[in-house]
Chain A
Amino acid sequence: MSIRLSQIDKTYGNKGRGSKGRGSKGHGHKDDGRTRALEPIDLDIHDGELIGLLGPSGSGKTTLLRIVAGLEQADGGTIHFGEREVTHVHVRDRRIGFVFQHYALFRHMSVFDNVAFGLTAMPRSQRPSSGEIRTRVMQLLEMVRLQDFAERFPAQLSGGQQQRVSLARALALKPDVLLLDEPFGALDAKVRQELRRWLRHLHEELHFTSLFVTHDQEEALELSDRVVVMSNGRVEQIATPDTLYRQPANRFVFEFLGDVNRLEGDIEDEVLTCGNARVAVPGVEDGRRELLLRPHEIRLDDQPGPRAHLPVSVTAVVPVGAEVRIELEADWLGEPWLATISHADFERLAITRGKRLYAQPSRLHRFDTPRPQTLAPLSIS
C-alpha cells in the first residue's frame, strides 16, 4: 500500500495541544519559545517500498514516523494510505504495524501471548477462533525463527530475539504499512547486521510497505530502496542510496553520509594555496573557498605530484578491515584528515607513524555554488 504525505508539519508548543514533551529535543526553535519539529513535508512512498528516514537526533524523523503511525497528530497536512485518507483516523484503526526501539514487549506475557495480542484484542465478532490464532501465531514465530521460545517471557530473551518477537507481533494483523522506530538501535553491531539482512529478506518475501527511522548511515544505505535524509525538521534529500552517496544535494547530506575532510585556502588562477600546500582546482573562481573530500578520495605518495603539493605526516594507523585508516596532520591543516588506502599501498609505502607523505586528492567537492560541484584535480581537463 502506498503512503502519501502532503504538507505535514508540527510545532511543539509550551502549552496546550497535546505535546508530549518527548521527541522535542533540539529541533529548530522559533522566536516565541515554541519548537518547530517539522517543516511542511511532502513524501510519496510507493507500494512495497522500504524507506529509511535518516537524520541526526532531533531532526524530526521519529516525530514524522509517529505522525504516520497516528501516535502523534500533525498540525496540518494530509496522510493517505493508498486511496484511504487516514489523517484523522485513530491509530488503532490505521492498520499499521509498529516496531519500537526498545521492543516494548508486554513484559508479563509470554512470547506467544505477545504475538497473539493483536488478534485476541479484536472485538469478539471479528476475532478468529483460538485454534486459528494458535496456527497464525506459530506461523509467525516460525518466520522469525522463535517457535521454540513461545512459552518464554521477554526478559528471558536476548535483545535480538526480543526485537524479532516485536516484529512478529507487528505483522500478526497483516498491516498495510510497517513502521519501525530505530529497530536495531539498541542492539550490538553483529546482531544488528544479522537482523538487517533478515529484515531485507522478509521484506522481499512479504512485500509490505515500510518506513524505518535510523541515525545510522550504513543501515539506511544498506536497507532502503530510497532514503529520506532529514535535519532540523526539514527533508534535505530523498534519493536512492547510490544517488545519495554520489550526488548529495547539499553539504549537510554530504557530511552526514560519511567522513569528510576539509581543505580551505585562497584560490588564484585555478590553484588553491594554503600555507606551503598547493593543489590545482580547475574551473574554480578566485577567492577564499572551502572544499571537501572523502577519506577514500585521498591517494598517498612519497613524492608531490605535478598538480598537487600537499605535504602531510602520519599520526595514526588503523590497519583493521578491508582498508587501512590513516590519520594525517600538517601545519596547513586546521583539523587532521582521515584517509583510507588499500593494504597494497600501505605496504608499498611502508607507512609508519610519523612518516612524511604527499596527499593527492582524486576528487574535491564544493557546496558554495547553487548546485554542488565535483572537481577532479588530478586529471587534466
Chain B
Amino acid sequence: MMSPILILIIFCIFTGLVQLLAGRKWASYIGLASSVIGLLYFLFLLTDLDLQAGLMYPLEFKWIPGLEVSFSLGMDSQNLLLLLLVFLIMPVGQIASITGSEQKSTAYYCLMSLGQAALIGFFSAQNPFTFYLFFELALIPFYLMVLMYGGEYRRRAVFKFFMYTVFGSFLMLAGIIYYYTLLPDGGSNVQWATMNSMPLGIENQYWIFAALLIAFAIKSPLFPFHTWQAELYTQGDRPAIIIIAAVLSKMGLFGFIRFYPLCADAIQNWSYFLIPICIAGILYGAIVAWRQSIMTKILAYSSLSHIGMIAAAIFTGTVVGIQGALFQMFTHGILAASLFYVVDVIIRRTGENNIYGSAGMAKIHPRLAVYFFIIVLASVGLPLTNGFIGEFYMLWGLTEKSIWYGAFAGLSIILGAIYMLRFYQKSMFGDLQTEHEPKWHKLELTEDYVLLVSVILILSFGFFPATWMDLTQQAANHLLTK
C-alpha cells in the first residue's frame, strides 16, 4: 500500500492541476474542498495513531543513485502536531482567499494547493536532504502568491524576503552537503531517528550548526534577522500571509528541532549566547509591537516575540522546554492564523490597516469582539487556553536552565498583556471615528464558523492538553537521548 502521506502530497498536486484546468470560477471551491478533504483524511489517520510504533507511514526510495541520497517521508511524534497544523490552517487560507474582495486568478489557487503539498513534504521529511528539498519548494508558491496580490509596495517587501531567505538557503545547503560528506557511507541511511547514533566531532558540529543557525534564524525569523517580516506581513496578500505567519514561520524552528541531535553539543556550548539573544528578541519584539499602530505590524512583532521564546526553549535542551516549544509551535500557528484572520475580517470592512480605523466595532459586531477577545487571551497565555500550556512548559524549561532566563523571558507575559490589550481595546472599543453609523456589513456565516472553530480549538487544547503533552514528551525524550 502507498504511504498515506504520499497520497496526501499527490492529492494536493493533482488538485493544483485540476484547478488550472477548471478555470477561475471553480478553482477556489476545488481548493477549499480539497483542503477540507485533506484535513478529514488526516484526522482519520489520527484515529488509529499508535505512538509506540515509532515512525508511522514511512516511505523511502533511492533518489539520486550516484550520490547515495534517498528520499524519505513519514510521521513521527515530532512532526504530528505540525502536520495537523498544516491541515487545519489550509482551509482557513482558502476561505480567506474566497471571501477576499479581490478576484484571484486560477494560478493563485493552484499555487495554494502546491504550497500545501510542499509543506506536508517538508514536515514529514525524514532525512536532511528531503528536508532541504521541501524547505526550498515550499517557499516558491508563497513567493509567487504574495507577488501576485497584496499591497502597493509588495514587490519591495517580497524582494527583501527573497534576499534574506536565499542567503540563508545557500548556507543551509552548504551545511547539509558538508554533513553528508562526513558520513561513512555517503549518507544513504541517514534518518532523523538514527542521527543520534552517528555523533559528530564538536568542530564539525560548530560549522554545521553555524550555517543552519543563520538559515533557520532568517526563516523563523529570530532577532536580528527579522526586518523582512513586518513589511511582508503588511504588504503581502493576506490569505497567503495567514499561512506564512501560521505555518511557514515554524519551518525554521522545526529545523532546530530536527537537527538538534546532530548539533546537540554545539547548541549546549553556545546556549549561553543563543538564549540571551533569543530573549533580547522576545523583549525587542514586544516593545516594538507596543509602539506600532498598523495591525499587521503589531502581529508581525508579536510573532517575533513568541517565536523567540520558542527558539529559546529549544536551546535550553531540557525535556520540558522542548515539549513546550513543540506544543507552542502548534498553538502559535493556530493563534497567528486566527489573529490574521480577524485582522482580515476587520480590514475587509473598514479598508484600514490601522488600529484606530475600527474603533467602536465591538458595539456593531459583538460576536467578533468576543471571538477576538478569546484569541487575544490565548495569545497572552491565560490559563485554560492553549497559549498557557506552551508558555508554562517553555518558561519552566528556561527557569530550569537558569532563573534569570525564566525571569527575563517571563517579562513577555507582562509586555504581551500590554501590547495585545492595547491592540484589542483600540481596535474594538472606544467611540466610532465617524459621525454616522458606518456600513460595516454583518459577520458572514463562514467568518463566524472559522472564528468559532478557532475558539473551540483554543479552549479544548487549553482544557485537555494531556494527550498532546504526552506526545511531545515522547518527542523530546527521543530528541535528547544519546
A binds B: no
Residues of A within 8 A of B (CB): none
